[in-house]
Amino acid sequence: MDREKLIEEAAKAKQFAYVPYSGFHVGAALLCSDGSIVTGCNIENSAYGPTNCAERTAVFKAVSEGKRSFEAIAVISDREEYVSPCGVCRQVLAEFCGPELVVLMCGRDQTYRETTLGELLPFSFSL
């Protein structure tokens, strides 16, 4: 797995973030099991609630293209500190990924902390 390439793709996706309310740009890149990479950015809304995080944009794009098996996700923002997926995105990832999914939480300089979905969302809910 080329972690640096995945992070680079997340950083590129960040430029498309639609963030008129928070000004907080986030990009995500999902490595699919077929080797392809699907990216996403956060897309905000004046009603706030419909805002979609970068991670979910990437997952929904991938699933809508018939991809449901994933190896890793990288997420990056404008902040110096590593950005960590929100609780809703963790649950959405858990719908399609096992606890072994690699999660790369990046700072804006593309350094990262590596973890797994299992560490971020232990005892996840499923039907």
Task: Tell me if 124 sits within 8 A of 93, measured CB to CB.
Answer: no
CA distances from 36 to 21, 25, 70, 73 (A): 32, 23, 10, 12
Which entry of 9, 55, 80, 119 is annotated as an active-site residue?
A: 55
Indicate whether 91 belongs to the interface with ligand THU (CB under 6 A): no
Q: Which residue, 8, 53, 45, 54, is CA-closest to 27? A: 54
Q: Which of 32, 51, 67, 108 binds ligand THU (CB under 6 A)?
A: 51
Indicate whether 45 belongs to the interface with ligand THU (CB under 6 A): no
Q: Which of 12, 16, 19, 114 binds ligand THU (CB under 6 A)?
A: 19
Residue keyed to tokens 């990479």: 37
Indicate whether 31 belongs to the interface with ligand THU (CB under 6 A): no
Indicate whether 85 belongs to the interface with ligand THU (CB under 6 A): yes
